[in-house]
Structure 1
């Protein structure tokens, strides 16, 4: 029984400007059957090539020229497919972009200046911890929607980060994590639908159709998590302690050279010290930066 988790994100522009990562975990054979029926629902007249909820909501892109009634019917058809192939587990993890920009981004190196690294780790660790607690022993393949440059930056330190998880949790994470194009990867379109509806529901949207659909596409076992403010404060404080070093990593060129050094260090067996996630990440940056400076000063 092979398991795969598909995650997509939806970002709010109001209030805390929350970023929501939502995902579905299911057996690969169920995902294959789901994809056949999802593809048929997309092709049903009037057809669309793919689902993006921002396009559906704004009646643009694939939904340009559609009436709201036609749009709603198409979404209902797709939601029914999700309901028929309901994943055993769904997850949503959120982070405040407003707080991240206050506490973390100003002191972050270029590649960690967005919350995607933190929330990707939070999403994977939440799935692994929960499934381990349920006695699941099958490793899970994780697939996220592509974000320009994010996959490389996440990969830079991600395997070091998971060293902090319990061994039972780590064993459920099939490495490396993957990224896909949600215009072609059908399960990612389901994750997009889930993330958008959860985010709108959290914003207090009272549209009964959105509220009902948000509930129907969740699994019976739905896990919610949030990256706490105190963690963001700790990350920001830890990064600030290294500000002189991190400031030199603000340019694209410096960050790319650091990526090269870290990749080489990983191939040579570089491992992080013990400590919490922030300490490990900073230690990795510090050691990689020392190697980078040593090589560039030769």
Structure 2
């Protein structure tokens, strides 16, 4: 079994970890969960995070075959289209992205979103394998945070997306539309049934209180022993009760509205209007008791 070479890239504004992963022999590789730099206040986009990944790929002599998304992210915009434009790498995501698009297409009036997940180059099924050089990348459907989450198992490493965080921080939220704490628990137990030495790579780190540095790599054994939410001995009902109570206290992610709109299009922005400008929509819901007439 060929083991991958891995370089991580941490984006502190969104607490996101992207990965350059490649086969050391053939120098073919993939990027997992790339970030597009977006300032919501000014509506401006930059690409220094993608530039850093592509510079590392050039330094290592890596040819990129795929950009792999673990899910439709709600906290950052995807840099996948930029990598595709510059390298020819294709964009893939779990096949249940169709469920996420079904939920959010009407919310944002996104009639341009292609049917059947067609904005992506490939939709991946549970158990499917992608060959990249001598690497075999196994797709594991790990829903719960969203219906579409997948993890990527490459040799003795697994890129878990938004399922687990570092042991001292716990697990991902499940309160977005289509999320399900029961599903998340079962997905996590599936991951933690892998060999104890399996290396787990997080998609985010928020640096738990008392920890001095950001971190994003742990093992199955460490998670089973010490995960704050789901270590061995925590049953499904106890986890679900904790997760649902915790989710009720969490704020809406700052970039949720733009992230969902862009990422369900495989990182593509909505079509430009007649003036050449692309706009992101903000659904407005009036609270009970608000005077709708005065706001019309």
Note whether the superposition's TM-score is higher than 0.5: no
Higher relative contact order (CA 8 A, sep 6+): 1
Give the structure with the larger helix fraction: 1
**TM-score, structure 1 length as denominator?**
0.28
Give the structure with the larger strand fraction: 2
